[in-house]
Structure 1
Amino acid sequence: MSKRARIIYNPTSGREAIRRDLVDILNVYEQAGYETSAFATTAAPNSALNEARRAAQAGFDLLVAAGGDGTINEVVNGIAPLEKRPMLAIIPAGTTNDYARALRIPREDPLESAKVVLQGKSALLDVGRANDTYFINIAAGGSISELTYSVPSKLKTMYGYLAYVVKGAELITQVKPMHLHVKYDDGEYNGIASMFFVALTNSVGGFESIVPDAQLDDGKFTLLIVKTTKLPEIITLITEVLNGGRHIDDPNLVYVKTEHIEIKPTNDMQVMINLDGEYGGDAPVIFDNFQQHIRMVANVDDMPPESFSQVL
């Protein structure tokens, strides 16, 4: 029997670039040996999630998530709870495309990103779960992490990543302290924080040096807690990130590897959780890591060898 692929694409992502290249993209997966069809997501809730689950249960061998980080996250949530999960490929067409950046998938040309499948290489990668919702790149909380909710879609389409930079510069002057109790494998943290990150890859908000020692299949998160709300100290941390990842030893930062995390506010402040750039509910939240849970097409040859323990 021939293998089957289903492309689940957001027709409005990336100035509709995927829709323009769709025939050529279909041909790429046909060339890779897949009988390929496509599904355009709609404005209905969980459109990509529901189609991903349907296609997985129908026995498709490969799902292609084509769109921004939100579309990719929905497809992951459609298949992650299943016992039998198809292989996953991604075609990035959003604003930050963090996960594609981590996997060295071309981010400027949908057709070139599709062609990665022709290399025939993949890896089993970790997936995180926050309470009942899965994520594949980053979970975060704090004022800066909320900027993805406050940048209008029209501005993201028109100005791309610049829209986030402008909004982030505005929000960094309005950082609010969170009072948190955080438990992780080898310890806990009680105190003030301005933000926290629970990372699976090295790419966070377009920066590739926030987690310089990321491994994508080791079964562990990288937990970062920024313990200061003082603007000069936060700017120092950002400068250290940009200067080769020197922030990991900064006394204003908790930086640990852990399989399990529990975070809860110790006051009445609402702490919204950002999962792969989308709102994922409020704390308290429990994070669990599912090691090597989804087989993912990746541009393995362009990635650091320490990113994986094995390549398929």
Structure 2
Amino acid sequence: MERSRDGKGETCRSRRVEGSDAFSSERILVLNPASGNRDHAPAVESRAVEHGFQVHETTERGDAEQIARLAANAGVSVIAVAGGDGTVHEVVAGLYDVGALAEVDCAVVPAGTANVFARRLGIADIEEGFRTIERAETRRFDVGVANDEPFVGTCLVGVTAEANTTTTDEAKRRLGVFAYARTALRLLSDYEGRPLRVTIRDEKRATDDRWSGDVFLLLVGNAAGFPAFRGLAATNPEDGRFDVLIVEDRPTADLLDPRTMARLFDDGPITRREGSALTIAARRSDSVPFSLDGELRLATEIEVRMLAQRLSVYVGRDYDLVSDY
């Protein structure tokens, strides 16, 4: 462990945090130095120490989840996350595992490739992340749970999910967010869709909406936006409901046109629904790849439920419940 010269904060670079005695501050920052283009760690660490955070660096997948779990048990009150959507996902999973979603305030310092969740919070960059922490305005966000794993942004099935999870780290460092678009375009020409049965339950209205067919893309949105869908606003992450989009057909747009990703699904049949719970089941015995906040999983059936207004999150000055980002 390295202590800062002014004593305000400290940095922990141990490979694994082993117990609650590793936390000497009520405010910690989980730093993933491998996120994004990998050049953010010194600046984030310096700013975190200035703001009185104890910094814990991750060195491998799963570290952020373990740090969050142990920090919550140690009574830490604020966890900031400096990384991408995958690091945020791990921290939320750690809090969920120990039943601490409602007990710890979460902050995001965007340092990943896409930073989808940070943008939904109205946080554009690292400096804005720290300004948001000092403003200390929090909101209670919904948390989705898919097969007992939480997600804050999206649960995806289909071509976008597979593009998100097959894009290489090297491509993300070189191309940034355009790396995902390039992978999606490569998959589009051969993608045949996934045969699924989908049941969308609305507990408030006590209704079930059933759908069956071949899915090109299924998006369950919690705190998310729809940049590829013209005219659709970002989801409201505080209303206790998911936005569900089902795209059945491959888009007919020219896949070599650079504008394709901006209007990818404008001309295909889209089913849009809202609900508080879903069952997504494969119509064959094959496992279905799906992603939670960009993290790949496999299942023949996915049960999705809502934890309404469960997670306390710092929001940026530009945060808006329903506008596009």
Report if TM-score (shorter chain) is over 0.5: yes
**Residue number in structure 1 paired with 2:81:** 65
Work out which of the residue numbers 222, 227, 242 in structure 1 matches 2:243: 222
Pair 1:263-2:283 in alignment: no
SS at match of 1:170: helix
Contact 1:143 1:175 in 2 (8 A): yes
Deviation at 1:3, TM superposition (A): 7.1
Work out which of the residue numbers 2, 6, 12 in structure 1 matches 2:34: 12
Deviation at 1:145, TM superposition (A): 1.7
SS at match of 1:302: coil
Q: Kindly tell me: are residues 162 and 302 of structure 1, through their superposed partners in 2, closer, same or farther at Cα, counting changes over 3 Å?
A: same
For the aligned residue pairs, the C-alpha RMSD in angstroms reads 2.8
Amino acid at match of 2:37: R
**Residue number in structure 2 paired with 1:113:** 129
Deviates more, 1:21-30 or 1:126-135: 21-30
Pair 1:142-2:152 in alignment: no
> For residues 279 and 3 of structure 1, what CA distance do their matches in structure 2 show?
33
SS at match of 1:100: helix
Work out which of the residue numbers 102, 105, 120 in structure 2 matches 1:102: 120
Q: Kindly tell me: are residues 147 and 241 of structure 1, through their superposed partners in 2, closer, same or farther at Cα, counting changes over 3 Å?
A: closer
Pair 1:166-2:158 in alignment: no
Pair 1:26-2:48 in alignment: yes
Q: Kindly tell me: are residues 194 and 296 of structure 1, through their superposed partners in 2, closer, same or farther at Cα, counting changes over 3 Å?
A: same
TM alignment of 1:192-231, pairs within 5 A: 192-204=214-226, 211-212=232-233, 214-229=235-250, 231=251
Relative to the length of structure 1, the TM-score reads 0.84
Relative to the length of structure 2, the TM-score reads 0.81
Contact 1:127 1:294 in 2 (8 A): yes
Number of residue-to-residue matches in the alignment: 290
Amino acid at match of 1:232: T
> For residues 212 and 131 of structure 2, what CA distance do their matches in structure 1 show?
47
Contact 2:140 2:312 in 1 (8 A): yes
Contact 1:142 1:176 in 2 (8 A): no
Pair 1:86-2:107 in alignment: no
Amino acid at match of 1:42: T
Structure 1 segments unaligned to the other structure (5+ residues)? 31-35, 308-312
Q: Kindly tell me: are residues 234 and 224 of structure 1, through their superposed partners in 2, closer, same or farther at Cα, counting changes over 3 Å?
A: farther
**Residue number in structure 2 paired with 1:310:** none
Q: Kindly tell me: are residues 251 and 10 of structure 1, through their superposed partners in 2, closer, same or farther at Cα, counting changes over 3 Å?
A: closer
Among all aligned residue pairs of Structure 1 and Structure 2, give the percentage whose two residues are the same amino acid.
24
**Residue number in structure 2 paired with 1:286:** 303
Contact 1:225 1:254 in 2 (8 A): yes
Pair 1:42-2:59 in alignment: yes
**Higher helix residue share:** 1
> For residues 138 and 231 of structure 2, what CA distance do their matches in structure 1 show?
24
> For residues 39 and 71 of structure 2, what CA distance do their matches in structure 1 show?
24
Contact 2:247 2:269 in 1 (8 A): yes
Q: Kindly tell me: are residues 208 and 254 of structure 1, through their superposed partners in 2, closer, same or farther at Cα, counting changes over 3 Å?
A: closer
Q: Kindly tell me: are residues 280 and 29 of structure 1, through their superposed partners in 2, closer, same or farther at Cα, counting changes over 3 Å?
A: farther
Deviation at 1:40, TM superposition (A): 0.4
Pair 1:125-2:131 in alignment: no
Pair 1:75-2:110 in alignment: no
Q: Kindly tell me: are residues 305 and 201 of structure 1, through their superposed partners in 2, closer, same or farther at Cα, counting changes over 3 Å?
A: closer
Q: Kindly tell me: are residues 241 and 143 of structure 1, through their superposed partners in 2, closer, same or farther at Cα, counting changes over 3 Å?
A: closer
Deviation at 1:209, TM superposition (A): 5.9
SS at match of 2:91: helix
Deviation at 1:20, TM superposition (A): 1.5
Deviation at 1:227, TM superposition (A): 1.9
Deviation at 1:26, TM superposition (A): 1.8
Q: Kindly tell me: are residues 138 and 61 of structure 1, through their superposed partners in 2, closer, same or farther at Cα, counting changes over 3 Å?
A: same
Contact 1:144 1:171 in 2 (8 A): no
Contact 1:17 1:93 in 2 (8 A): no
> For residues 279 and 19 of structure 1, what CA distance do their matches in structure 2 show?
26
**Residue number in structure 2 paired with 1:272:** 289
